[in-house]
Amino acid sequence: MNPPVPAVEAPADNDPLRDPSLYFNRELSQLDFNFRVLAQAQDESVPLLERLRFLCISCTNLDEFFEIRAATVRHAQDFAVPVAADGMSPATLLRRIHDRAAELVEAQYRCWSEELRPALSASGVRVLGRETWNARQRRWLRAYFREEIMPVLSPLGLDPAHPFPKILNKSLNIVVVLKGKDAFGRTGHLAIVRAPRSLPRIIQMPHKVSGGEYDFVFLSSVLSEFVAEMFPGMEVKGAYQFRVTRNSELIVDEDEVENLALALRDELVGRGYLRAMRLEIAANCPKPIVQTLLENFELPANAVYRIHGAVNLNRIIQIYDQVDRPDLKYPVFVPRQLAESDAMFERVAAGDVLLHHPFDAFTPVLELIRQAADDPNVLAIKQTLYRTAKDSAIIEHLVQAARNGKDVTAVVELRARFDEEANLAFADRLQEAGVQVVYGVVGYKTHAKMLLVVRREGRKLRRYVHLGTGNYHAGTARAYTDLGLITADPAIGNDVHLIFQQLSGLAPAIRLERLLQSPFTLHAGVLARIEREAMHARAGRAGRIVAKMNALNEPQVMRALYAASRDGVQIDLVVRGACTLRPGVPGVSDNIRVRSIVGRFLEHSRVYWFGNDGDPDLFCTSADWLERNLLRRVETGFPILDPAIAARIQDEVLDNYLADNLNAWELQADGSYRKVEPREGDMPHSAQAALLAKICA
């Protein structure tokens, strides 16, 4: 039994631990994460097509950064939002964002043009530029343009009757400079050609035409080469591709709407045309045209990125799926299957089950829901759904359960960013089948991952629970590292039951026996446990904290960690992405070490471990140590009660990742990251590779 958790007093306003110099900026830290992703694309030990995939991930991450994070900073500037713990003003931050992003873009295109494109070509996967097309290839591409592309294009000349059109977020466009007069005698100047999203951005040429099995061209290259065919009788003086990235954060005032689903549907209609944040344009585009575009999009001069190549570089990810070359990809692995998964209730009744994805298969979670849907002894199923696959088997199982007469409740988070439309669609499908759909709590995203099955066993009801650090998405369960616990522990089952009551009704504040819950007890519970480690250290006992998460920026948690470090607590943090805590500051954080792991799988599991003088607390959770997760979302932190499972998590997730010297980066006191290398005499160790070898067939 753990000792009582001490209370934590609020720090004074003059607390030196509030010094802005002790904190990094979250947005800049998030940008730096993409340099670590890009480093995977530059690593020659990584299979070539996987390097291409990492390049594309860094590009799509940058898109999302501008759509969400940079847009949030612009909003803070417009509405004088208080600055974060680092004290940086929004205006200064926006300038630094654009400077750092420009460095990232330059590195991405250099990686593509100088490393990956030549290496792919040498391996028989060619992306052919316009300057390399031979006569036969050009004839085929011209015919393809006329037959497949031009019929769906609608070029628009700019004149008083045709003002600048709305440009969809992240769409491919060509601005064309024209000379001469059209059929109506109008003098040509500028025209815009928009590429519909129905057109493939990467075109594969037939072997008989190109001479190679895997030869591709960018749609943007084809458009630029043959754009003159859309303007007969006029001279094309120049054609320049461009792309605008817009704010994509949907804002719905939930207190002012009667129906959140309808309000979100209305917002989604206009999402692609919100405020512009970034302009990418061909490097050779004349300054007057660039200035015209900047004025139209109401962007400052430093928001333009001149591109030496295709502006939609992330679209080359299509090549990864089209090229059947196992020798250029990671070896296929087979996740471990749970024994006796054909009888999940009997298996879980015998003891808790830990699933460590992707090394353990996601199948047991699907089986638990499927078997619950068909089992006549199951009375009710309740589940939170934040993100799930488009053709999710989970939705079908819940539908079948409702048809079989079970009481089924789904808490669907409509505001899951970029999944709003998909979530609205499957919420409609569930409701049509008779599932009770709840949209969570006003003002708080429901980010907790919970599944509850109520089953009659003899004269009693028994609760079976799945709690996870990741989403109910079979696809990401093969690409993300996550942890899931399936248990029949009565106290945990009752806690989950109370949380579902709270989410689906207007239940008062509840007291949970085992779980920590945001926005009520998780934040305070973390602070109290940090302070408990500090108390042990002040008393001369060992103080130790190890935590793994995706991001860290919550000021109170960071101040508590600094204070614990000053007291002698040894703290190791594995933070994949943004970390605003500054390690290694003498007298403040010299006992704190921060590392980031970037490898084959996206690190997504969250684990908190507090040493507690030999009687440790270990929690898995859906929450990062971010303000939003700890204070403005519904999250759960669930304890690992089985000693064998706790030992397994400590071995596989904590010790294993702290020993990684191949895919780890250490955060330095100046904010830079240093790649960890094996020291002399040390064996190379990759945490993810070790788990593949240990767990997977």
387 in a labelled binding site: yes
Q: Which residues pair with 482 in a beta bridge?
A: 357
Radius of gyration of the chain (CA): 27
Q: Is 61 annotated as a binding residue?
A: yes
Instruction: Of 677, 671, 662, give the one whose Cα is nearest residue 579.
Output: 671
Residue tagged 């010094």 (tokens): 19
* Ramachandran quadrant class, 223 (left: phi over 0; alpha: psi -120 to 50; beta: rest): alpha
How far is the C-alpha of 452 from the C-alpha of 467, rounded, in Å? 9
Q: Residue 192 to residues 189, 224, 406, 426, 574: CA-CA distances in angstroms?
A: 11, 12, 56, 37, 47
Task: Report the catalytic residues.
Answer: 447
Cis peptide before 358 (omega within 30 of 0): yes
Residues 6+ apart with CB under 8 A from 406: 372, 373, 378, 379, 380, 381
Is 576 assigned to a binding site?
yes
Give Cα 465 to chain centroid, integer Å.
Answer: 26
Alpha-helical runs (H) found in 211-327: 219-226, 260-270, 287-297, 317-322
**Cβ atoms of residues 449 and 328 within 8 Å:** no
Task: Return the ∠ at Cα 649 (arms to 346 and 481), rounded to 5°.
Answer: 90
Residue 320 annotated as part of some ligand binding site: no
Evaluate the omega torsion of the peptide bond into residue 519 and state whether it is cis, within 30 degrees of 0.
yes
Ligand-binding annotation for 550, yes or no, is no
Which residues are bridge partners to 619 per DSSP?
608, 639
With beta carbons less than 8 A apart as the criterion, state whether 381 and 408 touch.
yes
Spatial distance between the Cα atoms of 164 and 675, rounded to a whole number of angstroms: 47
Q: Compute φ and ψ for 236, nearest 5 degrees.
A: -90, 115
Say which DSSP state 156 is in.
E
455 contacts: CB under 8 Å, gap ≥ 6:
345, 372, 375, 377, 378, 379, 461, 462, 463, 464
Helix ranges (H only) for 5-47 are 26-41
Per DSSP, the residues of 214-238 read EEEEEHHHHHHHHGGGGSTTSEEEE
Q: Which two tokens stand for residue 359?
A: 């090394």
Contact in structure between 123 and 49 (CB atoms under 8 Å): no
> Which amino acid, residue 595?
R
126 marked ligand binding residue: no
Summarize the annotated binding site for Mg(2+) as residue ranges: 387, 417
- Annotated binding-site residue numbers: 61, 387, 417, 480, 576, 604
Q: Annotated binding site for ATP: which residue ranges?
A: 61, 480, 576, 604
